[in-house]
Amino acid sequence: MAEIIKNIILKGNYRYHLKFSKELDKINKIENIPKYPVLILTCMDPRININEIFQFNLGDVFVLRNAGNLYTLDVLRSIILAIVKYDIKYIVVLGHLDCGMTKINLNEFREKLPIKFLSSLTQNYHEHIPKLRSFFKPFVDEIQNIKEQIKSLELIKEFYPETEISGMLYDVETGLAFEYEKIKDYKNIESFRQHYKEILAYKKNQFTDFLEEIEPKNIIIDNSNDHSQDIELNEYINSSISENEDKSNKISKIELDDMKDKLKNNNSTIIPKISIPKIQFHGVKIYIPKIYTEKRKISIDSENK
Ligand SMILES: [Zn+2]
């Protein structure tokens, strides 16, 4: 097993070296490291690729990672180094949805840990769970966690008051990062989920502005894929409001889970979805995601392909 993995890693590195050699000119032109005075503290989740998410290049920003994007003594060590040596001015705690740290059951976890490790924490069986909690620091809520980590990091401002500390919430299913100003008012992840459609609607407006900004006249959205049955997000929200006037007008997590179940059992349902329309730009076809809500037949078979 280790041999196979080693081979995958080595071959990957040769492919990278090949690419690297071709881009040496560009790489050698990196003068200031990092290009932006930014440090991002994020989770070790393998679905997070900072350079891809923000379209950064090699050398653009510092990235610190650990399980759950947590403030630790070692994170503080690296941040202060980065501030002193590289003049970092902006720190972002990038949490993400579906974080594995919210799915840790300490009782089950304990069963999987070697006795030697457990007894290194404590000899007392009854102290295992509290000790494990303080060692692994699992949490239940991604939004509350971001707020807590920001709060802990605020101590840096005592030494470096000009340092800005902010947060973001990354959605591993859509590739969208929600800015702190938009998430901080939600007291927890449940409340965020309940307002998810409104938040997406806001994102859609921002995205439209972005498209207009990059080149208003040259963009032709190619809707050649059959989206004729799609309904726009705003319309969807309005319709769901009229359907659920006596409810809170919001889609709850239970309803979302219900939708997912329906998707598994039924080939027709309504789910929030990100489509990737083709966009013509200066004669070059690029792909830019467009947020929308769709109402169409979904073939489980074709989804699985
Ligand atoms: Zn995570």
| Domain residue ranges in the chain | 23-194, 214-305
CB 208 within 8 A of CB 289: no
User: Mean pLDDT across the stretch 67-95?
Assistant: 97
User: Mean pLDDT across the stretch 228-254?
Assistant: 44
237-248: pLDDT as tens digits: 444 444 443 344
Q: What's the gap in Å between 257 CA and the centre of ligand 1?
A: 20
Q: What's the gap in Å between 161 CA and the centre of ligand 1?
A: 29
Q: What is the pLDDT of residue 254?
A: 60
277/184: higher pLDDT: 184
Question: pTM of the entire structure?
Answer: 0.71
Nearest to 223 by CA among 284, 280, 184, 273: 280
Q: What's the gap in Å between 48 CA and the centre of ligand 1?
A: 9
Domain covering 23-194 assigned CATH 1.10.760.10 in the classification: no
Record the tokens describing residue 203, joined without a space. Answer: 């994102």
Q: What's the gap in Å between 76 CA and the centre of ligand 1?
A: 19
Q: What's the gap in Å between 175 CA and the centre of ligand 1?
A: 14
Amino acid identity, residue 100? G
Q: What is the pLDDT of residue 153?
A: 97
Q: What is the pLDDT of residue 203?
A: 86
Q: What's the gap in Å between 167 CA and the centre of ligand 1?
A: 14
**Which pLDDT band holds residue 91 (cuts at 50, 70, 90)?**
very high
Q: Where are the beta strands (DSSP E) in 80-219?
A: 90-96, 164-170, 177-179
